[in-house]
Amino acid sequence: MQRLVVLISGRGSNMEALARAGLAAEIALVISSDPDATGLERAKRLGLPTQVLDHREYESRDDFDAALGDAIATRDPDLVALAGFMRILTPAFVARFEGKLLNIHPSLLPAFPGLRTHDRALEEGVRVHGCTVHFVTPDLDHGPIVIQAAVPVLEGDTGETLADRVLAEEHRIYPQAIRWFLSGRVRLASGRVVFREPPPAGAAVLYSPGLDN
């Protein structure tokens, strides 16, 4: 069976969505960069193995990423899924796992990379917001895009209400992107996303995507 390693730093809701998605793969390890991440308890309730690598215990990003890479390598995963992992990865780490790193980001990239995406979307007055699954590259939140889901911005939205609506879509499209990857339908080649066959109609930017194809 294929194996995933999932990286978290917080509540781990996307990790749990992956665990409950019926993927044709096992989550071989959940690694948290924060020992207080509530996602660790979620993982334990799901019966998933966990490991903590507290980034504050390392003198540099390079040292942390080297230790992280070694921990991941012990499980020889087919894919490493970043699920709310709040660390900027070094080029050396990305190169080590090139083509096997996916991330879920709470905006329609390339709009609003980084933090506070929902508040920034409201401040800019956008009418459509959403989330993106992309391959990880050394450029923060700018990797090649696999799939996106869009939601309307409603009158009276707050950062919290918009975040809740986007999160529901994150839980839908991240498992789908991983299914595509594990089945060989999608891969990273020469810095671009390549589909073995075209994705289903409407599966690139979606309001209410049908994700069973």
Categorise residue 114: left if φ over 0, alpha if ψ from -120 to 50, beta otherwise. Answer: left
- Token pair 């994705």: residue: 199
Q: Which of 192, 10, 11 is nearest to 87 (CA)?
A: 10
Pick the catalytic residue from 55, 105, 129, 171: 105
The 3-state DSSP class for residue 10 equals coil
Q: Are 148 and 173 in contact (CB under 8 A)?
A: yes
Query: CA 88 to CA 143: how far, in whole Å?
Result: 13
Query: CA 102 to CA 83: how far, in whole Å?
Result: 9
User: Is 134 labeled as catalytic in the residue annotation?
Assistant: no
Query: CA 10 to CA 85: how far, in whole Å?
Result: 7
Tally Cβ neighbours within 10 Å of residue 136. Answer: 25
Q: How far is CA 65 from CA 75, 93, 213, in A?
A: 16, 6, 36
Q: Which residues are known catalytic residues?
A: 105
